[in-house]
Amino acid sequence: MSTTTTLHLLLLILTTTTIFTTSAATIPTPPPPQPTENYTPYTTTAPLTTTTTPTFPTSTPPITTTTTSTFPTPTPPITTTTTPTFPTATPPLTTTTPNFPTPTPPTTTIPTPTPLTTTPTIPTPPTTTTQPNTTYHTPTLISTILNTLGYKDLSTASLQANLTTTTIPTTIFAPSDTSLLTCPTCSLPLLLQEHSLPGLYPLHYLQSLFFGTKIETLSPNKCLTITSTTTPSPPKKIFINGIEITKPELFNDGFLIIHGLQGFVSHLSPFSCNIEKMTSLAFPPQHASTLAPSHVPRLMLNDAMIKLRISGYSIVALALREKYSELSELNGLTIFALDDNAIFAGKIGHKYVADIGYHIVPNEVLGGKDLVGLKAFTVLPTTKRGESLVVTTASGGGPMVPMRINYVKIKNFDLVHDDRVVVHGLSMPFPHVEDQRKSEL
């Protein structure tokens, strides 16, 4: 080889080495974009791949390092963004929960059915709301129910009374069999109709009624009078025409209610619904004189009975009704009455009603002043034949020694005081003087 060729080869080698050295010097230029890798990581990789990556394996390590560093970075923002979103969703849930206590005011308005107490006919609307055919009570079924409850006599009478709940629910005030014995001449089918009301009348509703409320029965133009005890004690007793409800709601299925009664029963008066017609009889004396004399005792007696009924003397009113034909023929009456509470307090009630004639002075109208003016040992006749009352203590002894008749103090004077009828209140029935003297001996 000549020297010229060797010189050309050396020049070629030198030129190639300079080219590689210059290219190697230019390759490290990519690091300046690294400060912006936070937002342009993918732009840095593009120039690395376009350069001499296949020729120089040394450029591959930065590619791997950049890729590994970029993958973990996206995960932190994912965890940080998701975790705060869950607690933020719970506050709206807590804000909505206070809305649930707000519906409690409607719960306080549920007792609004109390407006039923304003009118006795309101209990009937519940009958129209639910009337499934499966709960209708035929007369035969009502008879079976009464018989099961122990009301044998009313059970047989219910078939003739033709009671049913196919058209409207019914409330029955059922006198016991022993109570029916107090009215042997009563028609049991008619008596059952007179003690049955159209509509549902549970005990709590009866207790809310005003004293003396009248409700029409299934017997046309006949009304029951609802009264109650005035004592503030919680067990408030209810009386139906003076008969106590001793077994309330023996049966109640939403279409038939049965209350048990215990007391003295009788048929209702034709004027039982018209209180104004009877109470209007408290007319002045000059008006009374315009009526026929035979009518005055009847009207006055009717007036006295209705006043006694609404004053807590319903049993006495019933007893007077039983003797109405006899008493209405008298020219005047002075009656000594026992109130309902005293009658139901013990055994004296039955004794008083059975001996009511001994507590009536016929053809005498003795007011409070008249009784106080009587002298000791004054004899007062009674409607019980052959027996009389005696003034055992005159009123001359002062307030500490009040007057007594048959040893019994007069509790209330002039409960009723009309031109022909006067009623005074007693604390106990009159004992017979002969029996009292024998007991003292």
pLDDT tens for residues 296-306?
Answer: 467 778 778 88
The amino acid at 306: I
- Could you give the C-alpha distances from 170 to 166, 194, 198, 246, 441, in angstroms and in order? 10, 12, 5, 19, 57
DSSP string over 366-415: --HHHHHTPPTT-EEE-SSTT-EEEEEE-GGG-TTS--EETTEEEEEEEE
In DSSP terms, 421 is beta-bridged to 333
pLDDT digits (tens, 9 = 90+) for 319-337: 898 888 889 888 889 999 9
Structure tokens at 170: 């019914």
Q: What is the pLDDT of residue 18?
A: 55
Average pLDDT over residues 208-233: 83
Q: Is the model more confident about 374 or about 398?
A: 374
Q: Are 314 and 304 contacting, i.e. CB atoms less than 8 angstroms apart?
A: no
Average confidence (pLDDT) over 228-247: 81
Task: Write down the pLDDT at residue 310.
Answer: 78
pTM value surpassing 0.85: no
Arithmetic mean of pLDDT, 359-376: 92
Exposure of 104 in the CB half-sphere (CA atoms within 13 A)? 5
**Rounded mean pLDDT, 343-363:** 85
- Calculate what percentage of the chain has a pLDDT beyond 70: 61
Residue with tokens 């005011």: 105
Please say if the pLDDT value at position 393 is more than 80. yes
Provide long-range contacts, Cβ within 8 A and 24+ apart, for 237-243. 237/344, 238/203, 238/206, 238/207, 239/314, 239/340, 240/173, 240/195, 241/268, 241/309, 241/314, 241/318, 242/309, 242/314, 242/315, 242/317, 242/318, 242/340, 243/173, 243/175, 243/179, 243/314
Region 28-54: mean pLDDT is 48
**Helix, strand and coil percent figures for the chain, each rounded to 5:** 45, 15, 35
pLDDT digits (tens, 9 = 90+) for 176-220: 999 999 888 889 999 999 999 988 899 998 988 888 888 989 988
Q: Show the tokens assigned to 276.
A: 């104004």
User: Is 209:119 a contact under the CB 8 Å cutoff?
Assistant: no
Q: How many helices (H) and strands (E) are present in the chain, helices listed first?
A: 20, 14
Please answer whether residues 326 and 383 qualify as being in contact, where contact means their C-beta atoms are separated by less than 8 angstroms: yes
H or E element that contains 288: helix 285-288
Q: Which segments of 159-295 are extended strands (E)? A: 170-175, 196-198, 213-216, 223-228, 238-240, 243-252, 256-262
Give CA–CA dist 391/5, Å, rounded: 177
The pLDDT assigned to 356 comes to 93
Cβ contact 31:53 at 8 Å: no
Residue 63 has pLDDT above 80, yes or no: no
Q: Give the pLDDT confidence score for residue 343 in this predicted structure.
A: 85
Taking the mean position of all CA atoms in its chain, how far away is CA 409? 41
Token code pair at residue 274? 């018209």
pLDDT beyond 70 at 290: no
Task: Give the best-scoring range by mean pLDDT among 115-129, 188-202, 306-320.
Answer: 188-202
**What is the residue-averaged pLDDT of the chain?**
72
